[in-house]
Amino acid sequence: MSHAIDAEGLLDEITRQDEIIAAAEAARIEAIAGFAHCRFGDSGRPVMGTASEIALERNMSRGSAEMEIRYALGLVDRLPRVLGLLRDGRVDVRKARTVVDAVVHLSDEQARDVEDRILDRLPDLTLQSLQRALARAKIKADPEGAERRRQEGRKTRRVAVTHDDDGMGQFWLNAEGHKLVAAYARLDQRARALKAAGGETRSMDQLRADIAVDLLLGKETGCAVQTMVYAYMPMTMLMGLPTPECAELAGYGPIPDELAREIFGDSIWKRVLTDPISGLPVDVGRTMRKPPAAMAERVKVRDRVCRMAGCLRDADKCDIDHVQDWGKDGVTADENLADLCKFDHALKDMPGWGYVLLPNGDALWQTPTGRTYLDKAEPLGCPQNPDTPPF
């Protein structure tokens, strides 16, 4: 009996904690929306850099901060009654965000119509049931908008890559559903044909994944794509001397010794040798407004990513910025150049924004509120203690 009482009490405690978390989420959402409202421009939307300020304060990516702002404004400005349910602990933040996503392409009036149709049932619906209820409510609120929403949805198609720490990752593709079904069918058909041929030890999942990667790299068509990717490796590792496993692949991160040696034998990789003591490139230099090709490459090799704190845009997709503007006596030299993605390059010149490179290579940023944030310069390899062999 005591176990039953304890179990019942724990279920009550789970519910109580859910209510506390929901109320805290609602308070944070209102704070984020309030900050965004403080930064509204003439367009009636937050000015450029609003998401960056939140991202810097919360140690998150700008994209994540933009999403937080979108959800916050969606609830505060368009769905206040759903926000009220969240504040009262009657729904969780996942349900609240699901409603925001559902009405994003609807007018304010249509969004209120959808809110009217699902509000009373919202606390009792599972997430999957809510999605179905929202789909029905959207059709009733905007019966003529299905094709328009489909066209709007097409604009969101994109690809992305995420990484695990075991040498693996995920290739994420958002595209039209019918095309994805056809693409998957092709992968599945090819995988089944290989299985039927016999002698194949890979699972169907492994075969489909391998075939997809081979198709993207052109290996199945005979048109292999030679893409340049930077791989960093300590000289001592290449020489076969004892060294920490500190080789690194740009856009991914640390890679094992064996994989690094394999990459360094492949001509599609751009190889960069680093000093085992400092972790910096072996070669450094200076000199005109537009950096010479060698200097530009050196800066990109050094920075690897955008120098805005928290931004991980690869350097090869960034602009090379004069930290002290060329027009204000800034020189074209390694120590006055840094990689900034196009967004942060433009943000740097907005009122209240700016940064400097410190002597140790760190980038110190200041925002319109006067707060400062540090982007630490990471060594290209894992620097060793000078007293650690090999000397």
Q: So what's the pLDDT on residue 251? A: 62
Asked whether residue 110 falls in the same domain as residue 15, the answer is yes
Let me know if residue 318 belongs to a domain.
yes
Q: So what's the pLDDT on residue 256? A: 64
Asked whether residue 255 falls in the same domain as residue 322, the answer is no
Let me know if residue 380 belongs to a domain.
no
Let me know if residue 387 belongs to a domain.
no
Is pLDDT at 265 greater than 70 in this prediction? Answer: no
Residue-number span of the structural domain to which 265 is assigned: 229-274
Let me know if residue 288 belongs to a domain.
no
pLDDT band at 47 (very low <50, low <70, confident <90, very high): confident
Asked whether residue 73 falls in the same domain as residue 122, the answer is yes
Q: So what's the pLDDT on residue 163? A: 83
Please give the mean pLDDT across all residues of the chain: 83
What is the sign, positive or negative, of the torsion defined by CA atoms of 212, 213, 217, 223?
negative
Asked whether residue 205 falls in the same domain as residue 270, the answer is no
Q: So what's the pLDDT on residue 165? A: 76
Asked whether residue 63 falls in the same domain as residue 178, the answer is no
Q: Please give the sequence-ordered ranges of beta strands (E in DSSP) within 135-189, or none if there are none.
A: 158-163, 169-174
pLDDT band at 44 (very low <50, low <70, confident <90, very high): confident
Asked whether residue 168 falls in the same domain as residue 184, the answer is yes
Low-confidence winner among 99-103, 215-219, 387-391 (lowest mean pLDDT): 387-391
Report percent pLDDT > 90 for the chain. 45
- Higher-confidence position of 235 and 358: 358
Mean pLDDT of all residues in 197-207:
92
Is pLDDT at 283 greater than 50 in this prediction? Answer: no
Asked whether residue 7 falls in the same domain as residue 81, the answer is yes
Summarize pLDDT for 52-78 with one digit per residue, the tens.
999 999 999 999 999 999 999 999 999
Let me know if residue 279 belongs to a domain.
no
Asked whether residue 145 falls in the same domain as residue 165, the answer is no
Question: SS3 letters for the chain?
Answer: CHHHHHHHHHHHHHHHHHHHHHHHHHHHHHHHHHHHHHCECCCCCECCCHHHHHHHHHCCCHHHHHHHHHHHHHHHHHCHHHHHHHHCCCCCHHHHHHHHHHCCCCCHHHHHHHHHHHCCCHHHCCHHHHHHHHHHHHHHHCCCCHHHHHHHHHCCCEEEEEECCCCCEEEEEECCHHHHHHHHHHHHHHHHHHHHHCCCCCCHHHHHHHHHHHHHCCCCCCCCCCCCEEEEEEHHHHCCCCCCCCCEECCCEECCHHHHHHHHCCCCEEEEEECCCCCCECCCCECCCCCCHHHHHHHHHHHCECCCCCCCCEHHHCEEEECCCHHHCCCCEHHHEEEECHHHHHHHCCCCCEEEECCCCCEEEECCCCCEEEECCCCCCCCCCCCCCCC
| DSSP reduced 3-state for 9 | helix
Let me know if residue 285 belongs to a domain.
no
Rounded Cα gap, residues 133 and 265, in angstroms = 56
Sheet holding 363-366, edge to edge: 354-357, 363-366, 372-375
Asked whether residue 249 falls in the same domain as residue 146, the answer is no
Domain termination site, one of 150, 171, 187 = 150
Asked whether residue 34 falls in the same domain as residue 89, the answer is yes
Asked whether residue 164 falls in the same domain as residue 144, the answer is no
Asked whether residue 10 falls in the same domain as residue 140, the answer is yes
Domain termination site, one of 169, 189, 216 = 216
Total structural domains in the chain? 4
Let me know if residue 389 belongs to a domain.
no
Report percent pLDDT > 70 for the chain. 76
Let me know if residue 98 belongs to a domain.
yes
